[in-house]
Amino acid sequence: MGLHMLALVIDDSSTMRRLLTGLIAPLGFNVYEAVNGQDALDLLMECGTIPDVALIDWNMPVMNGLEFIRHVRQLPEFRSMTLMMVTTESEHSQVVRALAAGAHEYIIKPFPLEAIQEKLAYLGLLPE
């Protein structure tokens, strides 16, 4: 067995979390799920391991995806984590804001299923 990568899926929709987990688990990822940015931060502080990638929804209660990215980017220990927005926010200005805040990639929902795999491969995150 190859080395498992760790992914964090942050979305307030359980359906979306299930879909994303179902897409990336077979690619060799162990997946943690969080329901919003704050939940994800709590999880990061608790689990002590740094995910290789986080798939982040934008519109969530408590702490949204953009706030999460800004927050994580201020914590040196999480510098290595790849941040990917997966959201219905399709306006160019929103994409620019997310990338400026520190997101590496941006996928607009609904997306073709292979889009996630392509982005992960592009980011060098798929196990050989």
Query: What pLDDT tens digit does each residue of the chain (128 aa) get?
Result: 346 899 999 999 999 999 999 999 999 999 999 999 999 999 999 987 899 999 999 999 999 999 999 999 999 999 899 999 999 999 999 999 999 999 999 999 999 989 999 999 999 998 65
DSSP 3-state of 71:
helix
Is 120 part of any domain?
Answer: yes
- Answer for the pair 65, 11: CB distance below 8 angstroms, yes or no: no
| Residue 89 in domain | yes
Structure tokens at 34: 């969080």
CB-neighbour burial class of residue 69 (10 A; exposed 0-12, middle 13-18, buried 19+): buried
The CATH number for 66's domain is: 3.40.50.2300
Q: Residue 89's domain spans which residues? A: 48-128
**Position 66 in a domain:** yes
